[in-house]
Amino acid sequence: MDHRKNIEVCFTPGEYEYFKDEYEIVVVIDVLRATSAICAAFHNGIKSIIPVATIEEAREYKAKGYLVGAERKGQIVEGFDFGNSPYSYMNEALRGKEVVLTTTNGTKALDVAKDADTVVVGSLNNLDALCEWLAEQDKNILCLCSGWQDKFNLEDTICAGAISEYLIGTGKFTSSEDSSIAAKYLYLSAWDRYMGFLKASSHRRRLKNLNLNEDIKYCLTPNLTNVIPILRDGKLVKL
């Protein structure tokens, strides 16, 4: 009998319904930039983040006096306090604070996965710490890529492939879905040159056109932090 647990990859929030209920842990990934920004926020001392899927919900929190980050199509939404750049969260004034965040795809992925037993946040920035923690859990794991408006993207898939490759390498996990096998092969082609590999990717181009090259470099740098954000009672907190 095979006692290994499963580690699988779902490419977009839209496909999550075909995977859900089979995995105790869901790792939500949005390398450019939501989950990288969330990791940066906790690394820099934010107390908690309330992720919301829509601008309307974000407005309601803003009206109640919360600090609210809101991004759509890579840009800060007018009327909110900040957007989705990891650098926005490297701010002394946010230490110990609770903030609300809505983004185009990342908070949508968190929203679709919110009923899973455990939801954690993954990025290249917290890769090793996250992989080490996942390897100790003895649970079935799904990497949920945020994609772009329910379409496949390369950067989240590569990060999911990195997590799968690590966990399979422990001997305690196996993958059977073709999406997981494809993610692993993409990671193996990209692991030593993320910037170059992603040069032509759609979201890298989109962010570059918005002069967000520094954000891209930051988000594609592995292991800047050991934080693992986890969803508890609708709020992200540090594990």
Shortest reach from residue 128's CB to ligand 3SL, in Å: 22
Query: In whole angstroms, what is the distance from residue 133 CA to residue 100 CA?
Result: 26
Q: Nearest-CA neighbor of 228 among 90, 150, 153, 136?
A: 136
Task: Rank residues 104 and 175 by Cβ distance to ligand 3SL and give the closer one.
Answer: 104
Task: Rank residues 167 and 229 by Cβ distance to ligand 3SL and give the closer one.
Answer: 229
Task: Rank residues 103 and 164 by Cβ distance to ligand 3SL and give the closer one.
Answer: 103
Residue 155 touching ligand 3SL (CB under 6 A): no
The full 3-state SS of the chain, as one line of letters, equals: CCCCEEEEEECCHHHHHHCCCCCCEEEEECCCCHHHHHHHHHHCCCCEEEECCCHHHHHHHHHCCCEEEEEECCEECCCCCECCCHHHHCCHHHCCCEEEEECCCHHHHHHHHCCCCEEEEECCCCHHHHHHHHHCCCCCEEEEECCECCECCHHHHHHHHHHHHHHHHCCCEECCCHHHHHHHHHHHHHCCCHHHHCCCCHHHHHHHHCCCHHHHHHHCCCCCCCCCEEEECCEEEEC
* Stretch of residues binding ligand 3SL (CB under 6 A), selected from 13-21, 25-33, 57-65, 153-161: 25-33
The CA R_g of the chain, rounded to the nearest whole Å, is: 17
Position among 34, 39, 154, 224 found at the interface with ligand 3SL (CB under 6 A) = 34
Each residue 113-152 as x (binds ligand 3SL by CB under 6 A) or -, in order, gives: ---------------------------------x------
Task: Rank residues 83 and 161 by Cβ distance to ligand 3SL and give the closer one.
Answer: 83
Residues binding ligand 3SL: what is the number (CB under 6 A)?
A: 13
Position among 13, 19, 28, 33 found at the interface with ligand 3SL (CB under 6 A) = 33
Query: In whole angstroms, what is the distance from residue 166 CA to residue 169 CA?
Result: 5
Shortest reach from residue 134's CB to ligand 3SL, in Å: 22
Position among 8, 30, 155, 165 found at the interface with ligand 3SL (CB under 6 A) = 30
Residue 32 touching ligand 3SL (CB under 6 A): yes
Task: Rank residues 106 and 161 by Cβ distance to ligand 3SL and give the closer one.
Answer: 106
Each residue 67-106 as x (binds ligand 3SL by CB under 6 A) or -, in order, gives: ----x--x---------x------------------xxxx
Residues that bind ligand 3SL (CB under 6 A): 30, 32-34, 71, 74, 84, 103-106, 146, 207
